[in-house]
């Protein structure tokens, strides 16, 4: 077993903390819209801390909860816990530390963010168990990421505007769609292990169609969101860019060829989130 610093490094690699970028740009989008510009560096800093801590807690808990399942799966049996690089106790301790940081950040923002923090944690941590019970577990992950823009709005305003829930729904459909594609890797294993997913229930072709429909729903929700917030040309161009990037993402993989799935899942989704944030930021700046 490595020392504390080594274990921490392995944990950060295990949870791929750099992929916090998936939901963070959507949180920053909600923040900018709530403030109608920059809300101040203190607010920005605590939102970033809360987002990174929340995702770190969720991912570490997922690895802890799934350690036995990962050990039985040839694709995942090399992960840190099954491989013996980390103990379950250390990973749970890391999870609790990340939860504590998240709660501190929530308290530093405003009272409502702290009051709602336990609800967020239930969603983030509870997702790990959904695939044991339902094929719709992908929507649980979608909700976990989709909470980001609404949470950031509350962090700025101290209240919730129903309009931001449309972006939450859009992000939920986006995340659920790419999680369906990602789950295609475990299609055969899930059947043998008795785990639930759309690929396991509907087959690979059905799963790909489900992911396409989820991403089309995302684009429809983004268009509604743009209407509600009166986006200008830059905002609408951002939605067009997201549509093109999603189309490219789907072109990278097929039910018969999953070799480029990691590129589609990790690289392209980070790009999509950042591009949307950039165009919305430009739209707000051009309106001033």
Query: What is d(CA 97, CA 213) in angstroms, rounded to the nearest whole number?
Result: 38
Write phi, then psi, for 58 (nearest 5 degrees). Answer: -65, -45
Query: What is d(CA 142, CA 138) in angstroms, rounded to the nearest whole number?
Result: 6
The mean per-residue pLDDT over the stretch 269-282 comes to 94
Q: Which domain holds residue 75?
A: 4-287
Chain mean pLDDT for the chain: 92
Looking at the 3D structure of the chain, how many domains does it have? 1
Q: Which residue, chain included where needed, has tokens 């949180």?
A: 27
| Res 44 pLDDT > 90 | yes
The mean per-residue pLDDT over the stretch 93-110 comes to 97
The mean per-residue pLDDT over the stretch 119-132 comes to 95
135-to-22, 70, 175, 237 alpha-carbon distances in Å? 23, 18, 15, 35
List the CATH number of the domain containing 100.
1.10.357.140
Query: What is d(CA 173, CA 214) in angstroms, rounded to the nearest whole number?
Result: 5
Query: What is d(CA 234, CA 45) in angstroms, rounded to the nearest whole number?
Result: 26
Residue 55 pLDDT class (50, 70, 90 cuts): very high
Residue 12 pLDDT class (50, 70, 90 cuts): confident
| Res 265 pLDDT > 80 | no
Query: What is d(CA 172, CA 139) in angstroms, rounded to the nearest whole number?
Result: 7
pLDDT of residue 264: 64
Query: What are the pLDDT digits (tens) for 204-222?
Result: 999 999 999 999 999 999 9
Helix pair 41-65, 4-15: axis angle to 10 deg: 90
């Amino acid at each position: 077993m490595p020392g504390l610093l080594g274990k921490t490094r392995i944990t950060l690699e295990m949870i791929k903390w750099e992929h916090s970028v998936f939901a963070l740009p959507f949180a920053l989008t909600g923040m900018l819209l709530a403030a109608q510009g920059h809300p101040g560096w203190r607010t920005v800093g605590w939102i970033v801390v809360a987002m990174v801590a929340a995702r770190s807690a969720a991912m570490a808990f997922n690895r802890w909860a799934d350690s036995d399942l990962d050990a039985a799966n040839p694709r995942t049996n090399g992960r840190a816990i099954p491989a013996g690089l980390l103990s379950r106790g250390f990973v749970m301790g890391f999870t609790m530390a990340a939860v504590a940081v998240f709660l501190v950040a929530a308290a530093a923002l405003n009272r409502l963010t702290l009051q709602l923090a336990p609800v967020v944690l239930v969603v983030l941590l509870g997702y790990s168990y959904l695939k044991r019970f339902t094929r719709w577990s992908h929507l649980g992950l979608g909700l976990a990421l989709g909470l980001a823009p609404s949470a950031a709005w509350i962090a700025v305003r101290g209240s919730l505007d129903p309009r931001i829930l449309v972006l939450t729904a859009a992000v939920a459909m986006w995340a659920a769609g790419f999680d369906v594609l990602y789950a295609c890797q475990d299609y055969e294993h899930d059947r043998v292990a008795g785990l639930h997913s759309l690929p396991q229930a509907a087959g690979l072709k059905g799963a790909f169609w489900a992911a396409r429909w989820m991403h089309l729903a995302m684009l429809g929700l983004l268009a509604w969101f743009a209407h509600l917030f009166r986006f200008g040309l830059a905002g609408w161009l951002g939605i067009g860019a997201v549509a093109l990037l999603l189309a490219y993402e789907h072109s990278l993989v097929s039910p018969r060829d999953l070799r480029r799935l990691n590129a589609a899942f990790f690289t392209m989704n980070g790009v999509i989130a950042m591009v949307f944030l950039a165009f919305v930021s430009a739209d707000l700046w051009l309106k001033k």
